[in-house]
Amino acid sequence: MNVKEYIKNCQLVVHSGGKGERWSSITKNEIVKPMTEIGLNPRPMFDWSILPFVKSGIQNIYPTLWFKSDSLKQHAYNISENTNLNFIYLEEKEKRIGRAGIIKESIKNGLLDPKKPIISINGSDIISIDVEKLIKFHIEGVENGFYVTVVGATEIPTEFGQYKIDPKTNVVSCFKEKPVVKISKYENVHTGIFVFDSNAINFFDKIDEKSYPINIEDLKGEASNCIFNNARSYSGIIPLKEWVFFKNPKNYKDFSKIDFENFLKVENVENYLGKYNRNNEYI
């Protein structure tokens, strides 16, 4: 399989419809969380989350929507007017059905093509990932019968300061303020990225609709066995160096002024996503 052709066929599902209960102090519940402006060159976090994949050649983007969807729809429309990107919206309308649920329903309703691979990402995680290397690894797995790739980090940030002590005297030797901590080599921190080959798309049929709302990582029973028994881990993402996350207002305070163009190794985001008008009335 050709890596570039495989990437071009990928359907990028961006989970971006959540209300973000812990985020209301930032958005005042006026916009969906991924429309929060961040960066030295301010743009919605949605833009920074999709940028590595757009840069790699993906053109078809599927935002999942629920809460305050008009702001993101208008923004995506503005991007598509100035680029060759195509946005198809996957909407949870009557009730929440979860990230796994929305993929299943969108396949069933013909919005997602079951003959093409899917990359599933979070709209509020910014990851500096080499998509070609990821897909090369994924294709190697597919050729050996592993149709799913999960992207993980082998370190985890902690909210707590740590200190070292002398094992004999219990004397404190040094403090570390909220360090990034290595975890077991047999464990990974999930970054929110899944890659599903077209051979894995039928696994979503096995999800019991009675389990809605259900996320991919929370699947049980046959669906879980089919997906995770056919999955490999693309490991080694380094938090804060290659992965910036926005889980709570403190993350916003700490990370919102990062130079994301430099972080994502992009000279000019406008080359990929067009000009961003900060004066849009929906912001």
36 touches 113 (CB < 8 A): no
When mean pLDDT is compared across 46-55, 175-184, 187-196, 249-258, the lowest value belongs to: 175-184
Q: Where are the domains of the chain?
A: 3-155+188-273
Over 60: is that where the pLDDT of 100 sits? yes
Q: Which of the listed ranges 19-23, 30-34, 128-132 does the model predict with the highest average pLDDT? A: 128-132
Q: What letter does residue 209 receive in the DSSP assignment?
A: G
Question: How far, in Å, CA of 49 to CA of 3, rounded?
Answer: 21
Over 90: is that where the pLDDT of 186 sits? no
Over 60: is that where the pLDDT of 130 sits? yes
Give the tokens for residue 104.
Answer: 């299943």
* Residues contacting 108, CB < 8 A, separation 6+: none
When mean pLDDT is compared across 49-53, 89-93, 183-187, the lowest value belongs to: 183-187
Cα dihedral across residues 258, 233, 2, 11: positive or negative: negative
Q: How far apart are the first and last CA of the chain?
A: 42
More confident residue, 175 or 280: 175
What value does the mean pLDDT take over residues 68-86? 91
Over 50: is that where the pLDDT of 282 sits? no
Question: How far, in Å, CA of 120 to CA of 11, rounded?
Answer: 8
Q: Record the pTM.
A: 0.90
* Residues contacting 267, CB < 8 A, separation 6+: 261
Confidence bin at 265 (pLDDT 50/70/90): very high
Model pLDDT, residue 18: 67
What SS3 string covers 127-151?
Answer: ECCCHHHHHHHHHHHHCCCCCEEEE
Q: Is 54 helix (H, G, I), strand (E, B) or coil?
A: helix
* Residues contacting 46, CB < 8 A, separation 6+: 14, 16, 34, 35, 63, 72, 75, 123
Model pLDDT, residue 59: 95
Model pLDDT, residue 41: 94
Tell me the per-residue pLDDT of 140-149, one tens digit each, with 9 for 90 and over: 999 999 999 9
Question: How far, in Å, CA of 190 to CA of 280, rounded?
Answer: 34
User: Which single residue is written with the structure tokens 């009335």?
Assistant: 281
Model pLDDT, residue 121: 97
Give the tokens for residue 145.
Answer: 């019968």
For 3-155+188-273, CATH number out of 3.90.228.20, 3.90.550.10, 3.60.15.10, 3.30.420.130 equals 3.90.550.10
Model pLDDT, residue 20: 61
Question: How far, in Å, CA of 113 to CA of 10, rounded?
Answer: 10
28: left (phi over 0), alpha (psi -120 to 50) or beta: left
Question: How far, in Å, CA of 6 to CA of 184, rounded?
Answer: 33
Q: Is 193 helix (H, G, I), strand (E, B) or coil?
A: strand
Instruction: Output the average pLDDT for the chain.
Output: 89
Q: Is 283 helix (H, G, I), strand (E, B) or coil?
A: coil
13 touches 103 (CB < 8 A): yes
- Bridge partners, 157 (sequence order): 180
When mean pLDDT is compared across 67-71, 113-117, 240-244, the lowest value belongs to: 67-71
Question: How far, in Å, CA of 196 to CA of 256, rounded?
Answer: 31
More confident residue, 24 or 221: 221
